[in-house]
Amino acid sequence: MNNNPSAYMSVGRGCFKKAFIAALLSRHTTADIETLVRAELGWNCVYCGIGQEDAQIELDHLWPESTGGCLVIGNVVPACPTCNSLRRDTPWQAFMMRSGRLGRPRDKNEGDAEIAFLMQYMEKYDQTAEPTLNSTLTRLELEILASLELMLSAVSDGALAKAGHKKRQAIRFNDPEKMFDELVSVVAKYIK
Ligand SMILES: [Zn+2]
């Protein structure tokens, strides 16, 4: 049993930050994405080749959402639920080579050509570089995220200090007055 309140605080901060990042990333999506992807790639699973008559086709992120990949043209491809869930965060090229195609093993040349085709699709929409929060989010969104982290630290520090954990390393704001000033300056930035 872990009785260290700073451990709980850091877990709580992590979850909150993750949810907030997901919300910011969701602002970066291509409108009417399915129509655009259909026009570029058709609507068969790019991995196993199964069509919509036989499976409920979904959109699979080439750069995974977990590393900042967005629902944008050039980063999503049609995939069947089986391939989508089997792939998880495996690099798509590796998954392409090891998945079968229309019920038979994939031929090496065929796989290379399909990978080259999808690379062109990514290039066309400037999606070849691995995304990061810095490359995906706008400057304002990054600023808001940094401010949010500061506020979360201040709130958890306040709670820890109240619980008598003043001397813990996890506390970032030892000086309550300074903490107050920092919070006011963060809030003032967005309320004008
Ligand atoms: Zn498939």
95-143 tens-digit pLDDT? 999 999 888 999 899 999 999 999 999 999 999 999 988 888 899 889 8
- Ligand 1 geometric centre to CA of 170 (Å): 46
- Return d(Cα 99, Cα 105) in angstroms, integer: 7
In this prediction, what percent of the chain has a pLDDT beyond 70? 90
pLDDT computed for residue 167 by the predictor: 62
pLDDT computed for residue 86 by the predictor: 95
pTM higher than 0.95, yes or no? no
165, 6 contact by CB (below 8 A)? yes
State the span(s) of the chain assigned CATH 1.10.30: 29-131
pLDDT computed for residue 1 by the predictor: 44
Task: Go through 137-160 and write b for each residue having 16 or more CB atoms within 10 A of its CB, e for each that does not.
Answer: beeebeebbebbebebbbbbbbeb
**Angle at the Cα of 50 from the Cα atoms of 48 and 53, rounded to 5 degrees:** 170
Q: Does CATH place domain 29-131 in 1.10.30?
A: yes
Tell me the Ramachandran region of residue 108: left when phi exceeds 0, alpha when psi lies from -120 to 50, beta otherwise.
alpha
- Ligand 1 geometric centre to CA of 135 (Å): 30
Which residues are close to ligand 1, an ion, with C-beta < 5 A? 45, 47-48, 80, 83
- According to DSSP, the β-strands at 76-79 and 58-61 are antiparallel
- Ligand 1 geometric centre to CA of 83 (Å): 4
Mean pLDDT of 63-90: 92
- Ligand 1 geometric centre to CA of 81 (Å): 7
- Return d(Cα 102, Cα 110) in angstroms, integer: 12
Structure tokens at 61: 């992120």
39-72 tens-digit pLDDT? 999 999 999 999 999 999 999 999 988 778 899 9
* DSSP H helical ranges for 26-138: 33-41, 81-87, 92-98, 108-124, 133-136
Nearest Cα to Cα of residue 133 among 84, 59, 63: 63
